[in-house]
Structure formats: C-alpha cells, structure tokens
Amino acid sequence: MGWMRLGFQCGWTNLTLGGRRATSFYSGRNGNRWMTPLRMMSLVDDVSRDMKQAMRDKDVARLKALRNMRAAFLMAMKEDGAEALSDEVAGVVLRRLAKQRRESIEMYRSGGREDLVAEEEAEMEVIEHYLPQLAGEDQTRRWVREAMEQMDTVIKTGDKSAMGKVMGLLMKNHKAEVDGNVAKRIVAEELSR
C-alpha cells in the first residue's frame, strides 16, 4: 500500500475512507507530518471530482450529466440511510440512469425531437464512461449453470416458475456484475435444453 504525507497537527486521527474508518498515525521522524494510506477513489468520488473539473472547464453538457448522476447517488444514499455509497450500489444506480436515458432517446426519436435525442445521447455517453464492466456472456452462462445446479430440484420437477427462481438466485449473487437482459436470454436457453 502506498503512503502519502500531509502536513497537519500531531497526534492520532480517524479518516473516512469510502464508508470505512481508517486510523492514520503521526510520523515523528520528519517533523509535523501525518502518514496516511492512499485510498482508491470510489465511483461517487470520481463523479464528484469530475463534476468540479467540468465546472472549471465550463463543459455544460458534461456538467449536467454529472450533476444528474450525483443527484441519483445522493437519493440512493438517502433512501438507504447511508453516509456513503458502495461502488456496487453506485453501479446499479448508473445502470438505472442509463436505462432511463435509452427509454428517453426512443421516446424522443418517435416524437421527432432530434434536439432532445442529441442531449440524451450526450448524457448517455457520460454515464457509460462510469458504468462498471459487466460480465461477458461466457461468465454469465457459468453463473446461470451454477444457479441451476443449486436449484436442481425445482428444475427437475418442471416447475413453471423455474426461470424466475433461477433469475432471482442469479441476481441475488451477481446483480452488479450481470446484464439482466443477457442473463434472462441465457436462462431461457439453458432451461429449454
């Protein structure tokens, strides 16, 4: 783990690192300096940092998208009653925003509003930049087969709700890692065998 030094007062302190608390300690050797572990930036922190940069750059379209993303993060934190948002939950929020943008683009296209389509596509591009990579089709197929093995008794009896049960187990274990539409298609293929 890397270290960085900050020149502040002597003693012990607690730093909040992505929802966890980490204690830093004073390095008496080099005078009045703190030694604290470097932390990885969370998705929420990345969006906040980039929002500030977009303000400095006066990039209005990017700033609008980043503000909408940050507002969605804050709403999710408020709903959960949490002080911080994990990257997993932030990814789910971003996927929801991306889905809303896709639906808006379709509606505006059908209504002949190309100006609004361009705005939504620009916002969608910013959102996609922050979306975490989802598992590929091969990995998703492996997870579907694992879920089906765990639900073997349901599948053998020919239960009509087997697809819902397999999808439920799959999404419970891998919600932030799997595209739901791809998973649904793969589950249907595997159940039809």
Q: For residue range 58-67, what is the model confidence (pLDDT) as tens digits?
A: 999 999 999 9
pLDDT score at 99? 92
Terminal C-alpha separation, the chain: 49
**What is the mean pLDDT of the segment spanning 66-89?**
90
Q: Which of the pair, 3 or 180, is modelled with greater confidence?
A: 180
Question: With 60 as the cut, is the pLDDT of residue 155 above it?
Answer: yes
Residue 105 tokens, joined: 């683009």
To which CATH superfamily is domain 43-130 assigned?
A: Uncharacterised protein YqeY/AIM41, N-terminal domain (1.10.1510.10)
Residues β-bridged to residue 36: 4
Identify the CA nearest to 69 among candidates 133, 115, 128, 16: 128
**Do residues 76 and 89 make contact, with C-beta atoms less than 8 angstroms apart?**
yes
Q: Which of 6-10, 49-53, 59-63, 70-74 has the lowest mean pLDDT?
A: 6-10
Task: For 72-96, give one letter per residue: b (16+ CB within 10 A) or e.
Answer: bbeebbeeeeeebbbbebbbbbbbe
What are the residue ranges spanned by the domains of the chain? Answer: 3-37, 43-130, 137-191
